[in-house]
Chain A
Amino acid sequence: MDTSPQLIAVLVFLSVAVLAVPLAKRIGIGAVLGYLVAGIAIGPWGFRLINDVDEILHFSEMGVVLLLFVIGLELNPAKLWKMRKPIFGLGTAQVLITSAVLCGLLYWAGFGLSAAIIGAIGLSMSSTAMALQLMKEKGMRGDGGQSGFAVLLFQDMAVVPALALVPILAGTGGTGADWFTILSKVVGLAILVLGCRYLLRPIFRYVAASGVREVFTATALLVVLGAAVLMQQIGFSMALGTFLAGVLLAESEYQHELEVAIEPFKGLLLGLFFISVGMVLNLGVFYSHILQVLVGVCVLLLVKSVVLYGLARFFRINRSERLQFSAVLSQGGEFAFVLFAAAKSQNIFNSEQIAMLLVVVTISMMTTPILMQLVDKILARRYNPGDEPTQASDVEDDEPQVIVVGFGRFGQVIGRLLMANEIRLTVLERDVSQVSILRSYGYKVYYGDATELDLLRAAGAEKAKAIIIASDLPEETMTVVRLCQQYFPNLSILARARGRVEAHELLSAGVELFSRETFSSALDLGRKALIDLGMHPHQAYRAQQYFKRLDENMLRELVPVRQGEVQQISRVAEARRELENLFQREIQHDSKLSDAWDLDDEVQEARHEERD
């Protein structure tokens, strides 16, 4: 039987992703670079496993499209409206200034005027996929992250006029006053907005009522791809279309389900996108023009990051975040591919120019993760106090010292409790914006990734008494646990667990001191519910404590023995029944206990009779 070539290609993609990404993460270069390198390896310039690069690049742009849909889902119109200033202020400024500078440079380097203009605009756009991924990995939640996102959003919108500019510059375009095109755009947009607002909810309701999960997923994909194609047909960018659809659906009751349905496709297609970007890298051009390419990359990165840094200052982005902000957006992006392809078809570029530009863009995308690591190092040096061995050894203090990993919502509560009890704290945080805030409050904070042995050492893990891992990433938590067990056996480890699964992981790693992040607060609210329903507060409190104890015992008894999921699930179901029964019995027993002394005569007699 023949195996279709497409299937082989899928196999190649999947295996290379499976091989490269975990490896890249282990080496510490991050997932994105792993994908890119994997792409180079299988592409026409590597082992030539896949040659149909353009086709795949085109297809994998769906990853970016889905990404923007998911982002849109989290931004309802009100939130978006709040961001209008950074989007239009910062975004416009970035695109205009960068394009102007780059245009001059390209013209000076011998490009024609039209080529220089289109080239500059294309290069001024950053890679949404790359930048968002890195912003997530680096935990950029503050000002810098928000502004970065705003700039990316503006760039997505700017693609539309940029694409419209191509035929005009090539001299082939119409007068631009084609009423029919404008009308079709307006109608198309109206269809999208009205459809999302009024049509989709009944459709989703109808589909959800069928109860077939796959159909819901199919509907979600249909909506996203439909919006993308509609927008493309009327001349907007697909990504912008799906983003808009996402925003319009952000307030619907299906927001969360849509997100869950799209998420795996988004992840896979984004991976495919990065792989295909790696495949596009024309190593032939790279080798033959190595000097020009390297100069080009350096100039591009320099211009973009200097402009971004300047704007960050001008727009008063937190000092600590400016470097991250300018580095994360310093690369050329996927829109350059689209724009340059359009320009080439109109003969604005010759094939040598476009090959050069694309190599520069691709390499600039690869440098970004490296650049971000460099920024990390700089920030670490700036924010991490140097080792003070003399001071530490001079004064022998026996105050207990505790290291807290992650100072988000969870870590802060712990930190405040410990600080209030005069425990010396050292905080490890990978969000720079948080670092500077915490510093201003006088916390001792180290910036960086707690899974790095050096950082733990610098934070004093060798002498500290305990480490509290309050990270919200289970993976990170387990890595830190293992590091500490191996290198700092002196530390007692306390950890935040997301739920039962993570609790079991911690238990099997030998960590006994953990809290499930929502368990206690959920119990607390449950107790309040019991009181509200009329139970006496003390009874409700005891019920809560009983439940807690039983559930915790059950958790420890049910550590998975790795014997198949299904069995595990039925065991859990059984355990839940058992828990409820036990609970009933204990509570009844509990209230009887209070009769134990000072019984009245009748009851006492009854008891005696029972015994006889």
Chain B
Amino acid sequence: MSHLPKALVLFAHPEPKRSVANKALLKVIRNLDNVTVRDLYAYYPDFFINAHREHQLLRDHEVIIFQFPIHTYSCPALMKEWIDRVLNLQFAGSIGANELSGKRFRLVVTAGATESNYQPGGSVGYTFDDILLPFRIMAKACGMEWVDPMIIYRARRLEEDELQQHALKYAEWLSVSAEEDSE
């Protein structure tokens, strides 16, 4: 039996009830034994983050995933608050202790617009590589291994089976990555 590395999915959505894509994704991966899903807006409705508890969770998992809808070309506010409070210098800074180094890190992002909008000529004019650069820098500073993000475009307009496809791919990666690790 191969060892399944434990994955921590930090999910941030201020209106989770209204999210179509994220709900579909979470529904599938929630059932995986090696995955812990945490709805940050449910745990910290008042933005008062218990950094100590978050540190403990991070220590207990090998794969860290941020899952969120893109809001104003970035993550929702609580995700940023989480980053600022939890990934402090003592815990994960590039100077001194770094308890996150070696862990794998991936973003799972949903976007309302089509991929063509996120192109140099599109309405946004920048790609997700540009937009997610701060997260890449953050991961690097923490010594985490960057995994190419999973981006779901037109998230609210996808058909049921398309969403299911994405969810299965997500779930598969969460399991396959385990095997890659154990090799």
Contacts and interface: CB of A to CB of B under 8 A. Distances in A.
A612 interface: no
A579 B157 CA distance: 36
Contact of B18 (A538, A541, A591, A602): A591
A598 B45 contact: no
Nearest to B155: A600
Contact of A538 (B41, B73, B154): B41
B161 interface: no
A37 B179 CA distance: 94
Contact of B45 (A537, A594, A596, A597): A537
A598 B72 contact: yes
Interface in A575-612: 591, 594, 596-603
A536 B78 CA distance: 15
B46 A541 contact: yes
Interface stretch (B9-17, B80-88, B134-142, B170-178): B9-17
A598 B70 contact: yes
Interface string A98-131: 0000000000000000000000000000000000
Nearest to B45: A541
B169 interface: no
Given A537-B42, A538-B42, A598 B18 contact: no
A599 B124 CA distance: 12
A601 B114 contact: yes
Given A536-B41, A537-B45, A591-B15, A602 B71 contact: no
Interface string B59-84: 00000000001111100001000000
A536 B41 CA distance: 8
Contacts of B157: 600, 602
A600 to B, nearest CB: 4
B112 interface: yes
A36 interface: no
Nearest to A600: B112
Contacts of B16: 536
Interface residues of B, number: 25
B113 interface: yes
A591 B71 CA distance: 14
Contacts of B156: 600, 603
A540 interface: yes
B151 interface: no
Contacts of A594: 14-15, 18, 71
A599 B156 CA distance: 9
B132 interface: no
Contacts of A596: 72
B26 interface: no
Contacts of A599: 112-113
Nearest to B12: A538
A538 B112 contact: no
Interface string B14-30: 11111000000000000
Nearest to B41: A538
B37 interface: no
Contacts of A542: 45
B111 interface: yes
Contacts of A597: 71-73
A352 B160 CA distance: 104
B14 A538 contact: yes
A597 B111 CA distance: 10
Nearest to B157: A600
A539 B14 CA distance: 8
Interface string B106-132: 000001111001000000000000000
Which secondary structure characterizes the binding site on chain A? helix
A107 B42 CA distance: 80
Contacts of B71: 594, 597-598
A599 B154 CA distance: 9
Nearest to B72: A597
Contacts of A603: 112, 156
A196 to B, nearest CB: 49
Contacts of B117: 601
Contact of A540 (B45, B69, B113, B114): B45
Contacts of B111: 598
A63 B14 CA distance: 61
A598 B69 contact: yes
Contacts of B15: 536, 539, 591, 594
Interface in A539-558: 539-542
Contacts of A539: 15, 17
Contacts of A598: 69-73, 111-113
Interface in A24-61: none
A227 B16 CA distance: 63
A50 B82 CA distance: 78
A596 B76 CA distance: 12
Contacts of B41: 536-538
Contact of B17 (A536, A600, A602): A536
Contacts of B45: 537-538, 540-542
Nearest to B17: A536
A193 B71 CA distance: 71
A591 B111 CA distance: 18
Which of B15, B17, B69 has the most CB atoms of chain A within a 10 A radius of its CB?
B15
A599 B73 CA distance: 11
Contact of B42 (A536, A591, A600, A601): A536
A538 B41 CA distance: 6
Interface string A477-493: 00000000000000000
Interface string A454-468: 000000000000000
Interface string A212-239: 0000000000000000000000000000
Nearest to A527: B45
A599 B114 CA distance: 10
Nearest to A541: B45
Contacts of A600: 112-114, 154-157
Given A536-B15, A600-B114, A601-B112, 14 more contacts: A536-B16, A538-B14, A538-B41, A538-B42, A539-B15, A541-B45, A597-B73, A598-B72, A598-B111, A600-B154, A600-B155, A600-B156, A600-B157, A603-B156
15 contacts: A536-B41, A537-B43, A538-B45, A538-B78, A539-B17, A540-B45, A541-B45, A541-B46, A598-B69, A598-B70, A598-B112, A598-B113, A599-B112, A600-B154, A602-B157
Top 7 A-B pairs, shortest CB-CB distance = A541-B45, A600-B112, A538-B41, A538-B45, A537-B45, A597-B72, A537-B42
